[in-house]
Structure 1
């Protein structure tokens, strides 16, 4: 709803005064005795704020958060509302200079301006008037112009909560010996660019400090021990400071009220202190992506309130047994992956005290036996036991047990089992590099990604693809390479470098989530289906920003391509894709026997990155609307029979970094643009009627052609006759001059015919190499 926020038009106070009791409107609060409006809270509106708001003289609470004021400035007249004690303008799309007049609000205790669109200050001296301020939230505002921000903020005697996240601050003034933040209970300085050590004045912070957030602040050096002396601290966030080093001291055990400890993505070393078991209130412990070593203390098992444990991507060693989990009744996420020398050693009949949502144990030692305790987990949604040295058969209960698990990774083990009669139901499955055998498994409509490469599967691929129960799936990624599969492409699916024959089936257009269509180096014939426009993943922006990963509990874990590369040939040479494959959208139909024209409908695929139709028998024009494919980075249409002119709109493909139109029947001038002239002439050769830069052949303009024609018409007949006579005489002389010399001069004759042999050999080698292109490009 958009309207002009003009209070008299609603006439709150006059309506209230005429009534025997206060009018009750949502978001409006009136004093029970006087009927005066004292509180106003309006959300989900847009427009502008009228100065008529000043008529609410007794208003002390104004909340205009979560509105849309179209990046207009904060009205300066708000500084005249002297009764305000609470002003919340957060997330309301205000921009520009924060008005100095707000400093006149001497009664203001709460001011929140966070998450707007481009607020900034030229100085902060005006804030000295906010003598009663207790809560100050300026997160997201640009404060870098005020170098004395710290001294100014520390002069507020009642300040208890200070939020300055992402304010483009560059210094915490380490040289200061003392900063008067003795009343502050919550301090957020995250997402700034301090680029120095944590200053010593942090030891002067209030002993009542409850929350300290310094994440993403470009801090370096060791964590000062004084931080672990705030015994009432509940939240300590120091993550994403890659140069933060040192160890976690045993004194951390003093923080008995600590509920959230996040030190991930730093360079912290040493072991997990045994005093961690004293943190009886701890609910979240994130120590992942560090350089920690040593064993995991058994005292960790005493944390009965712990819900999320992430210690993955470290160098932890030793054994985790039942004692490490003895009292973890509330544990939902277990993340111990990528600790190569960490061994999970529990008995086969162990029943854990927890019910996990997520179990991430990749690249730890879990095997050789299959972990039977997993069967007790009834709420699991994410399971990763890849690279865990399991050498065992899949238990009989396993596949039915996984029917409600959304993401499974068993890759790079030595797990055995026949999957012929297995029905897979998880959204993401990675079974790569094991010893699974039998026919391809059945898949439900829930499956979106399946990697079953490098196994012992046998049988026709068409059976898997064309089964009736498999046709209505939403499969977006399939890797079944390096098995013993065989058979024709049939009428169901796509695969590079095989011997598939026949037409490209139109059913392929039903794969709306398809990102990579690679049928290159086959023997496919017929036209390119014009229904490719129906592949919506190539036509519309990705609502998930290209991510194939599935995130749970704030944790994104992508493992479909973990440790295995995916090969594509988008720019004339092999490129390896691993995690970034999720951002690639490509069509490669090169090295086939396709004919007909390039369907104009292909221009609908506006999100396509790579298009390779080279080495076919395509005819007709390049689609005029190719400029609609604005994300194209590579276009290869070489070695076809395309004709007509290069569309001028092609020069608008601003991301184009590779283009090959060589060896076609294109004609006319190459459109003038920085883009198309930046490619080598070799990308245009083999088109005899094509001219213009970068080709050496210049184009004849209409005016030049007219001039040449006019000159020819004015020549008299005598000149024409002389010309033709001279031409005949010259031909006779030239012919005998060359042939006569070759006839009587044997050495010249040998050189001449040797030259012809060299030309013949060069042509032969060139043609053979081109014919074998499909063998070289795999």
Structure 2
């Protein structure tokens, strides 16, 4: 026999076995059952699905196990999980869910389900996970939920307008490990502590905003024989007083890691909190802790002092010095003692904490000696010593909103975030060239007294997203290396003395969302590449500079632009009609968000700007994203206002004052119904004020003074409410609120009925005179015609007198 046969036959046999096993594997993957697929389709039928998340739930898609949000048992094909949280669904929950008898996981949070909370959910006894949070239910939480004895996780917080008639059903959920009932009133459930203590496997308890201020002291045996396994307790915003510590004690154990008692009415803490040896996070913000800080630390100085990592006690009434006892808390990474009454010098022991990363001591009366080292502080004063050697590995330094003064010291080269804003620092900023790691993403030096030029080392900061040296005394040209900031989202140079033309390299910063160069001495033409390269720009502020030339047509390509401020420059030419292409100012009801989501201490950096508003400059912060504004005032613009500008339906503020514009105000300007402020003053506009402006019901600031307008001011609630000064300088304007009356508005003098003189008849109105003359003549003519008929016609005479 050919020896090849001995090789080929085993290979064929192996291939046959593999093919058969593969086929068996495919057969073993069960599709969903027909009755469960039908149940899901019935569940979907009455729902609105505006985001299309249930688009795969179709009759022609036979295997519902492949539908969005569905999980099945691979062996049986039964639906075991419904994961449709945050789908935005609207409607009521269908009874068809009862056919999903093997359901273990029901996740409906973050939708708009409404109606009474379905009692039939209590029949889904295989459930292990139930989340109904953030919906619009009403009524009482069904007692039938007590039948869900297999539940491990129950989230009911913020599910609508509902209540709890009796909380005892919770005690049947023996296997429950996580319970969240935030926002559900338990004011009438005075024995809820006993119920919680009966849940021996519970590890997470969240009862924020549950009105727990009136709680009866636990009386059951579970109180005295508790062996709580709870690891996290959240009881914020309940108006609790210090008497609560009596019933809190049995809920605590050496397993407790997180305790949140913030936003209550506590005036102290018990010593037993210091004996919670696993405690890692303690939040006591917004209470009434009236105690010496040293005594507060003493009550926590048990084994908790070694485990505690996060201590938040802001907005209380701590007094005394920042005690050296703080050194016992060797695991602390985050400490917030802001807005208290602490005083004295900051203890050197604070800087010996080996793991400290963030600290907030703002709004106290503390002093900072300059003879030792410190990390992130707020609202303190003094000079800042060298930071580069003592915090060489730090990535974040925030000393903002303090009263620090003097030159900025050397900083670590490893920084990703540096915020020194709103202090009194002076000197130059060449120190930034020491940050050579290439990870700097946030640099805010604003609101200081810094001088000098922006150093030409910006090529080091390829990851920089926010550059804000605004409100200083920096000068000179922008360095060419600014074009290396390819990740830059916000450039804020407002109120310095920068000069010269904008560097051509700036066009490489194509990620810019906000460009604020206002209140400097920049010159030259406005670059056309701003419109060509910065397609994502929301804010463009070039105000109060020396820019010249015309408004580039390319700016009309900035479809997302919401704020355009080119006021107080030397621009000339006409206003381009293509401004109607700025769709960010057209789309009604859409407000682009100009917040810059930079990873910065888990906070959001909010853009801000100084905007001319109703004749004064205002600084907008969080409301900047709602503002849609065009300001071209104080230039040398000529020509007419293009009619197309009235298509910017969502514009809130328009300022074209102090130019040389002429012609009539566009007749359709009244269609800009969202305008709150309109300034057309000090131009050469002529003609009438358009009658359509009477429809601008939201307008609360208008100035058309010092033009050549004429005719009657249209009548409306708004236009007559402005002071006359807003219409001054238009000699041919008339009507309220001006005192000048329009032709035909003079009231005629009423004729006197007694004491007429000889010349009184001359005062009768000409119309009245002709009325009386015509009336008398007509009467006489009619009288003689009638008499003639009666005298000459015998039959008519007999008929007339027979009637009499």
For the criterion TM > 0.5, the same-fold answer is: yes
Q: Structure 1, residues 537-583: CA drift from partner, whole Å, max 9, x if none?
A: 5456787745468452313456x87xxxx754421x32332646745
Residue 76 (structure 1) shift: 1.8
- 1:464 equivalent to 2:487? Answer no
**Aligned position for 2:397:** 359
> Which residue number corresponds to residue 724 of structure 1?
none
* Counterpart position of 1:609: 652
Structure 2 counterpart SS, 1:261? strand
Equivalences for residues 85-484 of structure 1 within 5 A: 86-91=128-133, 93-105=135-147, 107=149, 109-110=151-152, 112-114=154-156, 116=158, 118-121=160-163, 123-124=165-166, 127=169, 130=172, 132=174, 134-135=176-177, 137-143=179-185, 147-159=187-199, 160=202, 163-164=205-206, 167=209, 169-170=210-211, 172-173=213-214, 183=228, 185=230, 188-189=233-234, 192=237, 194=239, 199-201=244-246, 204-208=249-253, 209-215=256-262, 217-219=263-265, 221-223=267-269, 225-239=271-285, 241=286, 243-246=288-291, 247=293, 248-254=296-302, 255=304, 256-300=306-350, 303-312=353-362, 314-319=364-369, 335-341=376-382, 344-346=384-386, 350=389, 352=391, 354-356=393-395, 358-362=396-400, 371-375=409-413, 377=414, 380-386=415-421, 398=433, 401=436, 404-411=439-446, 418-419=453-454, 421-423=456-458, 426-432=464-470, 436-442=474-480, 443-444=482-483, 445-452=486-493, 457=498, 459-460=499-500, 463-464=501-502, 469=507, 474=512, 476-479=514-517, 481=519
Instruction: Pick one of 27, 30, 36 that aligns with 1:7.
Output: 36
- Indicate the RMSD between aligned Cα atoms, in angstroms: 5.0
Shift, 1:407, TM fit: 1.7
The alignment partner of 1:577 has SS state of: strand
Q: 1:157 to 1:414 in 2, by over 3 A?
A: closer
- The answer to whether structure 1 residue 553 and structure 2 residue 553 are counterparts is no
CA drift of 1:383 comes to 0.7
Deviation readout 1:236-258 (Å, 9 max, x if unpaired)? 2223x175543342332321333
**Of 526-535 and 390-399, the range deviating more from structure 2:** 390-399
Give the Cα separation in 2 of the matches to 1:263 and 1:554.
19
CA distance in structure 2 between the aligned counterparts of 1:601 and 1:243, rounded to whole angstroms? 59
Q: What displacement does 1:449 show?
A: 3.8
Which residue of structure 1 lines up, in the alignment, with residue 9 of structure 2?
none
SS of match in other structure, 1:401: coil
What is the SS of the residue equivalent to 1:147? coil
Whether 2:641 is the aligned partner of 1:598: answer: yes
Q: How does 1:665-676 map to 2 (within 5 A)?
A: 665=709, 670=714, 672=716, 674-676=717-719
* Rounded Cα–Cα distance in structure 1 between residues aligned with 2:710 and 2:236: 54
Deviation at 1:596, TM superposition (A): 3.5
Residues 106 and 129, structure 1, Cα contact 8 Å, conserved in 2: no
Segments of structure 1 that go 5 or more residues without pairing to the other structure are 13-22, 325-333, 702-710, 720-778
TM-aligned CA distance change 1:604 to 1:405, over 3 Å: farther
Is contact 1:114-1:139 (8 Å) kept? yes
Residues 629 and 651 in structure 2, CA contact (< 8 A), matched pair in contact too: yes
CA distance in 2, matches of 1:57, 1:714: 98
- State the partner residue of 2:106: 63
Are 2:552 and 1:505 aligned?
A: yes
How many Å separate the matches in 2 of 1:347 and 1:525?
50
How far off is 1:395 after superposition?
5.1
State the partner residue of 1:740: none
How far apart in 1 are the matches of 2:431 and 2:721?
62
Which of 510, 513, 532 does residue 579 from structure 2 map onto?
532
Q: Determine if contact 1:648/1:671 at 8 Å carries over to the other structure.
A: no
CA distance in 2, matches of 1:8, 1:495: 61
Q: Please, what TM-score do these two structures have when normalized by structure 1?
A: 0.69
Q: Which string of whole-angstrom CA distances, capped at 9 and with x for unpartnered residues, describes residues 712-758 of structure 1?
A: 79958988xxxxxxxxxxxxxxxxxxxxxxxxxxxxxxxxxxxxxxx
- Counterpart-to-counterpart distance in 2, 1:592 and 1:232: 67
Who is 2:754 aligned against?
Answer: none
Deviation of residue 392 (structure 1)? 5.8
User: 1:295–1:319: 8 Å Cα contact kept in structure 2?
Assistant: yes
Determine the structure 2 residue equivalent to 1:43. 84
Instruction: Measure how far apart 1:478 and its partner are.
Output: 2.7
| Counterparts in 2 of 1:466 and 1:713: CA distance versus 1, 3 Å | farther
Contact 1:692-1:698 within 8 A present in 2 as well: no
8 A contact 1:112–1:137 mirrored in 2: yes
2:140–2:165 contact (8 Å) kept in structure 1: no
Structure 2: how far apart are the matches of 1:512 and 1:11? 43
Distance 1:554 1:696, change over 3 A: same
Equivalents in 2 of 1:467, 1:273: separation in Å?
53
Q: Is the 8 A contact 1:464 1:470 kept in 2?
A: no
Displacement after TM superposition at 1:661 (Å): 4.3
Aligned length: 661
Per the alignment, residue 14 of structure 2 pairs with none
Show structure 2 runs of 5+ residues with no match.
Answer: 1-33, 42-63, 531-540, 746-765, 775-804
Deviation at 1:134, TM superposition (A): 3.6
1:395/1:189 CA distance change after superposition, 3 Å = closer
Alpha-carbon distance, 1:360 to partner? 1.0
State the distance in 2 between where 1:436 and 1:664 align. Answer: 43
State which structure, 1 or 2, has the greater radius of gyration over its C-alpha atoms.
2
**Residue pair 2:115, 2:138 contacting (<8 A) in 1 also:** yes
Q: Which string of whole-angstrom CA distances, capped at 9 and with x for unpartnered residues, describes residues 198-217 of structure 1?
A: 744355243413322233x3
Q: Does 1:641 align with 2:685?
A: yes
Once residues 323 and 94 of structure 2 are traced to their aligned partners in structure 1, the CA distance between those partners, rounded to angstroms, is 58
Cα 1:316–1:107 change in 2 (3 A) is same
